[in-house]
């Protein structure tokens, strides 16, 4: 019974790591589609989100079956419930990558971001990639030391998000209201993506250490 | 055993209904603080969100205990897992109300929204109130017929959200980039609030009917 439980937990963990790769690749390619105004790539990202939804649903079913069949209690149950929530967060990260790609598609053939913000979004994309890759590693290895790194990346993302407001609101902004709204929403998608990665990490840390992880702040709302 | 399970499920359902009232009141008062540039009210909404977080955590613990102690299976387990997720969505709705209040606070003593959009936000606030109140009724009564109403309210919210872009992007917009960003983000908070209400309803419908509810579309990303 215990062995079966452990094997099923491993399978769920593998699914979650797989999901981090999928939503990591999605955000990475969405960023590329944004920077290159690449319609084909944007369409691919949008189409690929269905796979994320399917794997999330399968993972949730596995969690459900483990609870129903093995009736875990105490920390074992917390692990499975935690996995359910991690799956939800990862699915949402996939949605956010899809939103970025949709923005690229909506503005095509024009680029969705002005030249002077390409660096900012390239950097946001890089941080998103780093944060999701480390999130996958936390799930796979349970090495909670990586949580510090992840929190740092999240701070970098928040910093870029705030910096973007400064750029958009400066007198030198020449791209008008529509472009300002576009980049604000895009920036918020990246910021929320990082928040969800932090939230996933926090759940793993709570499971591993048995204590709530208070080292991060989430979603300041702007 | 069965009676104990039913009683605990009722207690969880009561908690969820209570949460809909709290996050409904929060959004209602947040809207008021926005329309009146009322700092004290905004501060109250921001402070009150902690209570939502506490009750959410308590509800989650109740769900956890029911699973651990009663080992429900099949549809019973789906109900409890569904309740866990509903609690998460409601907690997030509370966060979104808090975001609205924070925006009112940030711009105080100036109003965070220009005169010509007061009607839009008053309407969004009204829809938010209707949708969350009906969401509470769906949870309390399991009357899934209300889902149609809720989906309609969500469409109204999406319509207002799109309409707001038209206003902000029209040549007659005289409030500049900062106000445009403010109202876009605010509008997105309302739109996401309605999405979460739909998501809660969808879960209740799935639990009651045993079938996924496909009658709604969520978060178009802009």
In a domain, A170, yes or no: yes
Domain total in chain A: 1
In a domain, B215, yes or no: no
Contact A180 B181 (CB under 8 A): yes
A119 lies in which domain range? Answer: 2-209
Give the pLDDT confidence of A88-101 residue by residue, as tens digits: 999 999 999 999 99
Give the pLDDT confidence of A148-157 residue by residue, as tens digits: 999 999 999 9
What pLDDT was estimated at residue B212?
A: 67
What pLDDT was estimated at residue B219?
A: 55
What pLDDT was estimated at residue B183?
A: 97
Q: Distance from B74 to chain A by nearest Cα, in Å?
A: 7
Task: Give the count of alpha carbons within 13 A of B155, CB side only.
Answer: 8
Which residue is it, tokens 């009561």? B14
In a domain, B61, yes or no: yes
Angstrom distance (rounded) from CA B85 to CA B91? 10
Angstrom distance (rounded) from CA A198 to CA A153? 9
In a domain, A219, yes or no: no
What pLDDT was estimated at residue A214?
A: 54
In a domain, B157, yes or no: yes
Q: Where are the beta strands (DSSP E) in chain A?
A: none
Sign of CA pseudo-dihedral B1, B78, A213, A72:
positive
Q: List the structure tokens of B128.
A: 């938010």
Predicted confidence band of residue A221 (pLDDT cuts 50, 70, 90): very low
In a domain, B214, yes or no: no
Judge contact between A62 and A8, C-beta under 8 A.
yes
CATH number at residue A85: 1.20.58.220
Contact A168 B177 (CB under 8 A): yes
Record the pTM. Answer: 0.94
- Across B160-181, b (16+ Cβ under 10 Å) vs e yields bbeebbeebeeeebebebebbb
- For residue A102, list chain B residues with Cβ-Cβ distance below 8 A: 221-222
Q: List the structure tokens of A53.
A: 């939804």
What pLDDT was estimated at residue B213?
A: 59
Angstrom distance (rounded) from CA A177 to CA B101? 24
Note the residue count of chain A.
Answer: 222
In a domain, B26, yes or no: yes
Please, what is the angle between helix B118-141 and helix B146-169, to 10°? 160
Query: Which of B84, B102, B180 has its CB closest to that of A181?
Result: B180
How far is residue B136 from each of residues A97, B20, B95, B108, measured CA to CA in Å?
32, 6, 18, 32
Contact B221 A103 (CB under 8 A): yes
User: With an 8 Å Cβ cutoff, is A1 touching chain B?
Assistant: no
Per-residue pLDDT tens listing for chain B (222 residues): 689 999 999 999 999 999 999 999 999 999 999 999 999 999 999 999 999 999 999 999 999 999 999 999 999 999 999 999 999 999 999 999 999 999 999 999 999 999 999 999 999 999 999 999 999 999 999 998 999 999 999 999 999 999 999 999 999 999 999 999 999 999 999 999 999 999 999 999 998 887 765 544 445 444
DSSP letters of A86-124? HHHHHHHHHHHHHHHHHHHHHHTTS-SS-GGGHHHHHHH
Which residue is it, tokens 């993972």? A59
Q: Is B212 exposed, middle or buried (0-12, 13-18, 19+ CB in 10 A)?
A: exposed
User: With an 8 Å Cβ cutoff, is A188 touching chain B?
Assistant: yes
How far is residue A109 from each of residues A36, A48, A119, B88, B98, measured CA to CA in Å?
10, 21, 20, 39, 38
In a domain, A215, yes or no: no
SS3 label, residue B110: coil
Query: Nearest residue of B to residue A100 by CA position?
Result: B221
Give the pLDDT confidence of A9-25 residue by residue, as tens digits: 999 999 999 999 999 99
What pLDDT was estimated at residue A219?
A: 55
Q: Count how many pairs of residues, chain A against chain B, have C-beta atoms within 8 Å.
A: 81
């Amino acid at each position: 019974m215990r062995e079966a439980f452990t094997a099923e937990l491993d399978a769920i963990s593998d699914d979650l790591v797989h999901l981090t790769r999928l939503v990591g690749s999605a955000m990475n390619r969405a960023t590329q589609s944004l920077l290159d105004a690449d319609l084909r790539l944007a369409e691919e990202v949008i189409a690929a989100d269905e796979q994320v939804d399917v794997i999330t649903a399968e993972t949730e079913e596995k969690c459900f079956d483990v609870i129903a069949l093995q009736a875990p209690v105490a920390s074992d149950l917390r692990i499975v419930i935690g996995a359910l929530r991690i799956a939800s967060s990862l699915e949402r990260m996939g949605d956010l990558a899809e939103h970025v790609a949709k923005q690229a598609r909506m503005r095509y053939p024009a680029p969705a971001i002005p030249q002077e913000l390409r660096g900012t979004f390239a950097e946001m994309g890089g941080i998103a990639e780093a944060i999701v890759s480390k999130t996958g590693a936390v799930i796979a290895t349970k090495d909670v030391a990586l949580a510090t790194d992840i929190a740092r990346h999240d701070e970098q993302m928040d910093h870029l998000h705030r910096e973007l407001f400064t750029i958009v609101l400066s007198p030198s902004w020449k791209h008008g209201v529509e472009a300002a709204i576009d980049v604000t929403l895009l920036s918020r998608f990246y910021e929320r993506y990082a928040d969800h990665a932090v939230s996933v990490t926090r759940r793993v840390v709570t499971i591993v250490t048995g204590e709530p992880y208070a080292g991060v702040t989430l979603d300041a709302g702007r």
